[in-house]
Amino acid sequence: MQFKFIYPLALLTAFVITITEGDAIFRGKITGVYPVPPTPKITYVSPHVAISPYDSHFRAAADTLQWDWKLIAAIAFTESRFDSTATSEAGACGVMQVMPATLRGMGVPDSLHMDTRTNIMAAAELLDYLDHLYRRIRNFEERTNFILASYNAGAGHIGDAMNLAEKYGRPRYVWNENVDSFLIRKGLPEYYTDSVCKNGSFSDWKQTLSFVKKVKRNWRRFERMQTRYSDSIATLMAKDSTIRIKE
């Protein structure tokens, strides 16, 4: 008799153990006892190539002008090599080499003339004025020549050169081999004493012509840097789904 009850009891015990273990396994999955794969960590990268410590200021200035920020960076690099403490012999100061008289005319106190952000935003205001001054030049590439030349030499001297070009039958809104050649002649009395000239002699034409070319060359260089950077980011994103462009 004892033997009859031992076998069913053994089966019942085995059944209870099986159910208990199964329940433990089930509960283990629910409560996280068993490891869940971690969520991939997203890495955000800037869409902009790093050119200088002041890139965010250049982009802010570019937003006010609706310009390419790398053009403003190119002006700063050509003017000061991104040296925010630079002061020229003529007195131009800061990373954008703005003249103190210009800064004061904008209401910038002397104590902020060397402040990097203030200096860059003041330069942007000047560039905006020049952009408006030459608004009749529809082609931006051409208009940039006049803006850069005026930024360096002053709009008065560039205006005189434009007037001379027109007087001698040359186009007043074309820089290369036209207005630039009359800026060169403004160092000669027969030209700067002409009635169409209002701002006297100008002898620093070599610096101005060089400045225009250097800024545009540096601008193109920064553009190439941006292209290479963008291509490298695109390659990384194609290989790694955790990389994202920061908005």
Give yes or no for a contact between 233 and 245, defined as CB atoms under 8 angstroms apart. Answer: yes
Contacts of 142 (CB under 8 A, 6+ apart): 173, 174, 175
Tokens of 130: 């020049």
Phi-psi map region of 177: left, alpha, beta (phi>0 left; psi -120 to 50 alpha):
left
Whether residue 79 lies in the annotated active site:
yes
Per annotation, catalytic residue among 79, 125, 142, 177? 79
Cα–Cα separations (whole angstroms), residue 182 to 80, 158, 160, 199, 212: 27, 9, 9, 14, 15
CA atoms of 83 and 70, how far apart (whole Å): 17
Query: What is the C-alpha separation between 193 and 190, in angstroms, rounded?
Result: 6
DSSP 3-state assignment of 71? helix
Active site residues: 79
